[in-house]
Amino acid sequence: MAISCSDVVFESEAALGVYKSSEWGERGFCKTCGTSLFWRMTGYCGVSEGAFDALGPISFTTEVFIDEKPTHYEFANKTTQMTGAEVFALFMQDGSE
């Protein structure tokens, strides 16, 4: 699970690795242990829940790239579901991939 964040600051940039995983996005990870930390694209950054020391109650409200999810992958609660095209339209500056 990822939490949508803005103004993300990491305690140690030296320990941060970034991998360009697609034409539009990249994944961040800890270079020491390999833990996944975030996925970001223009206008959006989703930080892995485990990257936080402590979190208060959170609500799982949105699923992205729903058109690419495995058929057996379902969530118990009702969420806003966005296709890849909807995600790009919302977060990309010019609305294109």
Looking at the fold, whether 36 and 68 belong to one and the same domain comes out as no
Looking at the fold, whether 63 and 35 belong to one and the same domain comes out as no
Per the domain annotation, does 85 fall within a domain? yes
Long-range contacts formed by 83-88: CB under 8 A, 24+ apart: 87/44, 88/24
Looking at the fold, whether 28 and 48 belong to one and the same domain comes out as yes
Per the domain annotation, does 17 fall within a domain? yes
Maximum Cα–Cα distance across the chain = 39
**What is the chain's pLDDT, residue by residue, as a tens digit (97 residues)?**
788 887 778 887 898 999 999 888 999 999 999 999 998 888 888 888 888 877 778 778 888 889 999 999 888 889 999 998 998 888 775 544 4
Total domain count, the chain: 2
Looking at the fold, whether 35 and 18 belong to one and the same domain comes out as yes
| Domain encompassing residue 74 | 59-97
Enter the pTM of the model: 0.66
Which pLDDT score, from 0 to 100, does residue 93 have?
57
Q: In angstroms, what CA-CA distances link 14 with 33, 73, 91?
A: 13, 35, 28
Which pLDDT score, from 0 to 100, does residue 86 have?
92
Which pLDDT score, from 0 to 100, does residue 95 have?
44
Per the domain annotation, does 5 fall within a domain? no
